[in-house]
């Protein structure tokens, strides 16, 4: 089972926060299932204390070739080599259109799965892929 982690982009302060790793921001899971941040440097009665504008991104459970955790919103370079021995499809479409190529794109969460463009992102090793992932940025800072 993968570790459940989140990070949050603050488009007002142009800063990335890592949930449970910040000293000046507290994060709250609301009964609706959404998150909200609280700026601990502001007073509790301040209108700027509640950070409802944050954009939360979930950890995929994967790390890149440099041991960097991959989150939604990360821009990654995905290089692949030989195909696996079995045919793998993504809702009826080929997962990879060609071999010995690279795909660069942003990680998203759609239809209950992490995606890289049109490609389903999962444990490539288990599927038999010869591949490499590298985080080269994220959609908020680049």
6 vs 18: CA distance, rounded Å: 6
- Segment 67-117, tens digit of pLDDT: 999 999 999 998 876 655 544 444 444 444 445 577 888 999 988 888 888
DSSP summary character for residue 126: H
Report pLDDT for 21. 86
CB–CB of 131/123 below 8 Å?
Answer: no
Report pLDDT for 23. 86
Phi-psi map region of 4: left, alpha, beta (phi>0 left; psi -120 to 50 alpha): beta
pTM of the model: 0.77
């Amino acid at each position: 089972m993968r570790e459940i982690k989140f990070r949050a982009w603050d488009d007002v302060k142009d800063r990335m926060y890592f949930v449970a790793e910040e000293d000046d921001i507290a994060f709250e899971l609301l009964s609706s299932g959404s998150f909200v941040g609280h700026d601990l440097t502001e007073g509790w009665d301040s209108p700027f204390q509640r950070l409802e504008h944050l954009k939360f991104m979930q950890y995929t459970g994967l790390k890149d070739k440099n041991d960097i955790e991959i989150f939604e919103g990360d821009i990654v370079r995905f290089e692949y080599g030989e195909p696996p021995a079995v045919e793998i499809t993504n809702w009826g479409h080929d997962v990879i259109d060609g071999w010995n190529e690279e795909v660069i794109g942003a990680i998203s969460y759609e239809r209950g799965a992490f995606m890289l463009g049109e490609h389903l992102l999962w444990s490539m090793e288990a599927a038999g892929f010869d591949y490499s992932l590298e985080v080269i940025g994220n959609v908020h800072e680049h």
